[in-house]
Structure 1
Amino acid sequence: MVLVLALGDLHIPHRAPDLPAKFKSMLVPGKIQHIICTGNLCIKEVHDYLKTLCPDLHITRGEYDEETRYPETKTLTIGQFKLGLCHGHQVIPWGDLDSLAMLQRQLDVDILVTGHTHQFTAYKHEGGVVINPGSATGAYSSITYDVNPSFVLMDIDGLRVVVYVYELIDGEVKVDKIDFKKTTTTTAH
């Protein structure tokens, strides 16, 4: 079992002062093996905070990130799954499933994690999975001002990944679970 935290679009301090306190109390060092972040951390202090949670940190560059060394896309293998990471502002139209599926095929990954829309979504599509963890701070976007803070925790175990979605709604953390199973040990494309 490998735990992977997926989050992004924090926009600290420009659109949100910090992660919600209820999320911060849940995210403790030593529990998570990998963090993947879709970008828009905005400042180095957020990067440093994430590093305290888990040293295995993978970040792609959002259009508001000060750090220019973050790549546009990144792929990594965790267990039996190949994951792709991209902020998502480069995918037109934003959040479009067919456009995201094309990126997923180009990166040749089982799981594509993107952000930019600030809204949680998860789709099983063309034998793979497309996940947007939403905005971890609930920062507004150019699409909507009504954003519930959210992040995703993936539990990868063999050919199975359980996606836990944590969303702050009316001051309470709600958790939903989505189960995906990979049918082969090769990439889904």
Structure 2
Amino acid sequence: MIAIFSDTHSGRDHELEGDALTAAREADTVIHAGDFTSEAALEVFQTECDRLFAVHGNADSAAVWDRLPTARVVEAGGVRVAVTHRRDGGETGLAMFGRSRGADVVVSGHTHRPTVVKTDEAVLLNPGSHADPRGNRPGFAVLEERADGEDSEAGLEGEIREPDGTVLETFDVPTA
């Protein structure tokens, strides 16, 4: 399983609870699209997750900026994931970012709004914010092998969930 988070916005903690905390602890790979805010929040997140791949966001402290890149590519679960906090140009900018990195999925944050957009280039995924939804539903995402027994190279199935496990949206991530 791949668990995906963004926009923690905490001075001291990961702010994970319920199903979100379970997903972070049990995932093979955890991706965070930035805005931990503090180095303490980043470190506590790292303590909970065996394999954390993160980028910094615009609200992160200088110490977090020093430790994390602006963008990165993660290969996990048979898919290639390009991660950034935000990209100028909206959906088009994110799709171009993904294309330039050969991504199946582009993960971003910043808006705090859980969304999935399928483009010809990639699936654009914003998991929302599990901790600071700012008027949106709190969210995080998971990607897992298809439950129907299909070959995992055919893609993954995804869900955007609330921290209590309520599913907000389901989607598929095909691979080439």
TM class by smaller structure: 0.7 to 0.9
Structure 1 residues 129, 20: CA separation in 2 closer, same or farther (over 3 Å shift)? same
Contact 1:92 1:99 in 2 (8 A): yes
Task: Report percent identity of matched pairs.
Answer: 21
| Structure 1 counterpart of 2:112, one-letter code | H
Alignment of 1:47-62 (within 5 A): 47-62=42-57
Aligned length: 166
Instruction: Find out whether 1:181 has 2:169 as its counterpart.
Output: no
Structure 1 residues 83, 97: CA separation in 2 closer, same or farther (over 3 Å shift)? same
Which residue does 2:9 correspond to in 1?
11
User: TM-score, length-normalised on structure 1?
Assistant: 0.77
Gaps of 5+ in 1: 141-145, 185-189
The 2-side partners of 1:59 and 1:110 are apart by: 18
Instruction: Find out whether 1:34 has 2:29 as its counterpart.
Output: yes
Q: 4+ residue runs of structure 1 moved beyond 3 angstroms?
A: 20-28
Which residue does 2:149 correspond to in 1?
none
Contact 2:7 2:110 in 1 (8 A): yes
How many Å apart are 1:82 and its aligned residue? 1.1
Q: What RMSD over aligned residues (CA atoms) do the two structures have, in Å?
A: 2.2
Which residue does 2:76 correspond to in 1?
78
Q: Please say which of residues 98-107 and 35-44 is displaced more in the overlay.
A: 98-107
| Structure with a larger share of its residues in helix | 2
| Structure with a larger share of its residues in strand | 1
User: In structure 2, which of residues 91, 108, 111 is the aligned counterpart of residue 114 of structure 1?
Assistant: 108
User: TM-score, length-normalised on structure 2?
Assistant: 0.83
Contact 1:138 1:150 in 2 (8 A): no
